[in-house]
């Protein structure tokens, strides 16, 4: 059974380029559009099933870019706008094409906020709260919900098929039990929001911290994601790739990147 994990977006909440910013990273993205990045999200394809991981404000752009025409459920890791802001983009897919509610897994603390903020979507989604330690089964793959270390209730996911992939876009290191669960993964896709000073050390990581996390959990490949090249020392993709040369097995995430887990 073919299983793959695709990154729909790899930026932090600002996106690259940002409309108001003229830093070197944004200028680089304007001059070389393939280096632009949308807000973070992913899709797990397991056989004929597609599972969205988060719904960024760029969701429509991401789905059309990747020619994704159907999804089977949506999993929201945490209730921050850059991870749920595109949820309304699925309304007319459900009403006009799918014609039955879409399963929506929410953080337990976000269920009430969802109904308060999106009452017009109450009939579009079949809402269920996820729980840490819960496993969801899909054809040829298992997705396990694990705690992240962020400033609100936040999950990452461990996907196990032929290979193992951990996806933690918003986390300041990993809780001990999570680090044990993801030890030795083939792919660790993790928060590397900051370059230079970490402005929010209780919620995010800086590039060097993300590299060290990959070493600690003995990931075969560490992929730096949720990138904000503007923070706190602006850096271009080319400059950052040069800095990663001494670290074999550490790479930058990019929109559309695919990780084949089986098949």
> Does some domain include residue 260?
no
Other C-beta atoms lying within 10 Å of the C-beta of residue 27: 14
- C-alpha–C-alpha distance, residues 115 and 138, integer Å: 27
Q: Could you read off the pLDDT tens digit of each residue along the chain, which spans 263 residues?
A: 799 999 999 999 999 999 999 999 999 999 999 999 999 999 999 999 999 999 999 999 999 999 999 999 999 999 999 999 999 999 999 999 999 999 999 999 999 999 999 999 999 999 999 999 999 999 999 999 999 999 999 999 999 999 999 999 999 999 999 999 999 999 999 999 999 889 999 999 999 999 999 999 999 999 999 999 888 888 999 999 999 999 999 999 999 999 999 98
Owning domain of residue 72: 3-254
Q: Would you call 108 exposed, middle or buried from its count of C-beta atoms within 10 A (0-12, 13-18, 19+)?
A: exposed
Report the C-alpha gap between 192 and 227 in whole angstroms: 6
Q: What are phi and psi of 124, to 5 degrees?
A: -85, -35
State the pTM of this model: 0.96
The pLDDT assigned to 263 comes to 81
Q: Give a yes or no: residue 179 inside a domain.
A: yes
In a domain, 196, yes or no: yes
Cα–Cα distance for residue pair 54/9, rounded to 1 Å: 10
Whether 163 is covered by a domain: the verdict is: yes
Specify the CATH number for the domain of residue 109: 3.60.15.10
Helix (H) or strand (E) holding 96: none
Which pLDDT belongs to residue 77? 98
Residue 190 confidence (pLDDT) = 97
231 within domain boundaries: yes
Q: Is residue 261 part of a domain?
A: no
Give backbone dihedrals phi and psi of 154, rounded to 5 degrees, phi first. -145, 140
Cβ(216)–Cβ(208) below 8 Å: no
Q: Is residue 236 part of a domain?
A: yes
Domain count, the chain: 1
Q: Is 259 part of any domain?
A: no
């Amino acid at each position: 059974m073919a299983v793959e994990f695709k990154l729909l977006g790899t930026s932090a909440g600002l996106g690259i380029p940002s409309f108001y910013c003229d830093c070197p990273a944004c200028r680089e993205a304007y001059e070389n559009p393939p280096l632009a990045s949308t807000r973070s999200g992913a899709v797990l394809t397991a056989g004929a099933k597609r599972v969205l991981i988060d719904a960024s404000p760029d969701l429509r752009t991401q789905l059309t870019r990747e020619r994704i025409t159907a999804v089977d459920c949506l999993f929201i890791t945490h209730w921050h706008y850059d991870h749920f802001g595109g949820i309304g983009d699925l309304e007319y897919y459900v009403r006009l094409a799918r014609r039955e509610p879409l399963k929506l897994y929410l953080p337990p603390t976000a269920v009430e906020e969802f109904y308060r903020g999106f009452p017009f979507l109450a009939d579009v989604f079949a809402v269920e709260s996820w729980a840490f330690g819960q496993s969801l089964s899909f054809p040829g793959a298992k997705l396990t919900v694990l705690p992240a270390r962020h400033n609100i209730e936040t999950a990452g996911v461990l996907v196990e098929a032929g290979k193992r992939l951990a996806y933690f876009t918003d986390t300041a290191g990993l809780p001990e039990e999570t680090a044990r669960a993801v030890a030795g993964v083939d792919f660790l896709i993790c928060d590397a929001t900051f370059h230079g000073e970490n402005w929010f050390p209780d919620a995010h990581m800086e590039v060097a911290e993300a590299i060290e996390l990959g070493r600690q959990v003995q990931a075969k490949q560490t992929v730096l994601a949720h990138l904000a090249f503007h923070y706190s020392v602006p850096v271009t993709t080319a400059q950052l790739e040069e800095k990663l040369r001494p670290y074999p097995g550490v790479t930058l995430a990019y929109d559309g990147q695919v990780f084949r887990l089986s098949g």
